[in-house]
Amino acid sequence: MRDGFLPFSPPCLDEDEIAEVSESLRSGWITTGPKCRAFEAALAARLGSPAALAVNSCTAALHTALAVLGVGPGDEVITSALTFCSTVSVIEHVGATPVLVDVEPDTLNLDPAAVAAAVSERTRVLLPVHYGGHPCDMDALWAVARKHDLAVLEDAAHALPARYRGRWIGQGDNPVAFSFYATKNVTTGEGGMLTGAPEFIDEARIASLHGMSRDAWRRHAKGGSWYYEVVMPGFKYNLPDVLAAIGLAQLRKLDRMQARRREVVAAYTAALADLPLRLPVQRPECESAWHLYSVRLLPEAPVGRDEFVQRLAAANIGTSVHFIPIHYHPYYREKYGWQPGAFPVTEEAYRGLVSLPLHGGLATEGLERIVEAAVQAIGAK
């Protein structure tokens, strides 16, 4: 095992998840039902969220939230140039126009000054992404939102659990979307959660399941009625109980997994400090969820990012890159005519950007191997 492959972010699963899933399968109710409700309640309790809705992806949560906000053609949504494609594709799905802005050099989060400059008559929503699990500068973003009467929808795919000025991301009344994709801090294989004000979440629940005024669990459970009404052309975004079961077990071990993430982060930061790398930071008013440990090879490093990734792969170490800037993708480049140079901080970061393995199950032996390999990969020309 000494030289075995060290994956970038494997899920931390054990008998607890298996027992929860077995219970769900044996119960005879495998789609949205009691496990989902328990998962929603557990996440809302963990974060102090006013209400929560389980869905089958973060992308679904974002799309549902934009639909419930009533965002549509003619509207603009401001988001980060350095994010996963689905943050932006959901804006396209509702027929609105994405307005990309650049990020701040230390956190790689939405730059509030750039956001303020990008606001127009048509802006409806700010869609900040908590990059790597580090909260955005929410006070500055809310100041812009309040001034122009904009909604704030947070992409918190990386930010479970993260705190900004002592409050959890997902604790407020505004909509916040989480991801339980296989690589995320908490996983259900595929899954997501939308938190927010109770009335908003009630509407989102209807929108996420065919626009039906009553969900299947309440119709098909004992005492339920066959009758329902369709009040809007809704989506099919509900989370099955079999997957919510995995999430319930994951939430119970979240603190343990986070503690290990912080140990790994501290070890990386100590071991890599003298290399030609820009390391991730944590601002004093923030507590990062440490979803990613993304380093940036500095221009003076003797090796480029692609070669660095290849050398780590040759040493049997998985890495990833978060993210290819949105305006580099052909669809967006061609549709909006964004040119290279449009978002200089994003582009400069991307040139050297690479995420090292970071997960709640990373053992010290593996960690030492990664550090050793990283030092070697940078050192030699």
* Residue 250 binds ligand PLP (CB under 6 A): no
* Residue 179 binds ligand PLP (CB under 6 A): yes
Question: 131 is written with which tokens?
Answer: 């990059």
* Residue 254 binds ligand PLP (CB under 6 A): no
* Residue 135 binds ligand PLP (CB under 6 A): no
What count of other Cβ atoms lies within 10 Å of the Cβ of residue 111? 25
Of 40, 71, 66, 39, nearest to 53 (Cα)? 40
Host H or E run for residue 194: strand 192-196
The interface with ligand PLP within residues 205-224 (CB under 6 A) comprises: none
* Residue 129 binds ligand PLP (CB under 6 A): yes
Choose one: 51-59, 100-108, 263-271, 347-355; the region binding ligand PLP (CB under 6 A): 51-59
Residue 316 phi/psi, 5-degree rounding, is 65, 40
Per CB under 6 A, the list member of 32, 79, 86, 185 interacting with ligand PLP is 86
Residues 6 or more apart in contact with residue 1 via CB below 8 angstroms: none
Q: How many CA atoms lie within 13 A of 179 on its CB side?
A: 24
Q: Least CB distance from residue 115 to ligand PLP, whole Å?
A: 17
Q: Which one, 67 or 373, has the nearer CB to ligand PLP?
A: 67
Quick check: is 184 catalytic? yes
Q: Least CB distance from residue 242 to ligand PLP, whole Å?
A: 17
Cα separation, 379 vs 381, in Å, equals 7
Per CB under 6 A, the list member of 9, 64, 87, 195 interacting with ligand PLP is 87
Q: In what order do the strands lie in the sheet with 76-80?
A: 97-101, 76-80, 123-127, 151-152
Q: Least CB distance from residue 102 to ligand PLP, whole Å?
A: 16
Burial of 117 (0-12, 13-18, 19+ CB in 10 A): exposed
Site pattern 321..360 for ligand PLP (x: CB under 6 A): ----------------------------------------
Burial of 274 (0-12, 13-18, 19+ CB in 10 A): exposed
Q: Which one, 115 or 303, has the nearer CB to ligand PLP?
A: 115
Q: Least CB distance from residue 231 to ligand PLP, whole Å?
A: 25
3-state class of 226 per DSSP? coil
Return the amino acid letter for 197.
A
Question: Contact, 217 vs 32, CB < 8 A?
Answer: yes
Q: Least CB distance from residue 73 to ligand PLP, whole Å?
A: 23
Site pattern 187..206 for ligand PLP (x: CB under 6 A): -----x--------------
* Residue 59 binds ligand PLP (CB under 6 A): yes
* Residue 181 binds ligand PLP (CB under 6 A): yes
Q: Which one, 6 or 157, has the nearer CB to ligand PLP?
A: 157
What count of other Cβ atoms lies within 10 Å of the Cβ of residue 219? 13
Omega prior to 330 cis, within 30 of 0:
no
Choose one: 16-24, 105-113, 152-160, 329-337; the region binding ligand PLP (CB under 6 A): 152-160
* Residue 64 binds ligand PLP (CB under 6 A): no
What count of other Cβ atoms lies within 10 Å of the Cβ of residue 251? 18
Question: Contact, 128 vs 152, CB < 8 A?
Answer: yes
Question: 355 is written with which tokens?
Answer: 């995420």
Longest dimension (CA), the chain: 71
Q: What is the DSSP letter of 9?
A: S
Q: Least CB distance from residue 129 to ligand PLP, whole Å?
A: 5
Q: How many residues bind ligand PLP (CB under 6 A)?
A: 14
Choose one: 151-159, 234-242, 296-304, 360-368; the region binding ligand PLP (CB under 6 A): 151-159
Q: Least CB distance from residue 108 to ligand PLP, whole Å?
A: 11
Q: Least CB distance from residue 132 to ligand PLP, whole Å?
A: 9
Question: Which residues are paired to 272 by β-bridges?
Answer: none
Question: 283 is written with which tokens?
Answer: 């601002």
Residue reference for tokens 């963990």? 46
Find the catalytic residue in 35, 147, 184, 236: 184
* Residue 80 binds ligand PLP (CB under 6 A): no
Q: Which residues are catalytic?
A: 184
Site residues (CB under 6 A) for ligand PLP? 57-59, 83-84, 86-87, 129, 155, 157-158, 179, 181, 192
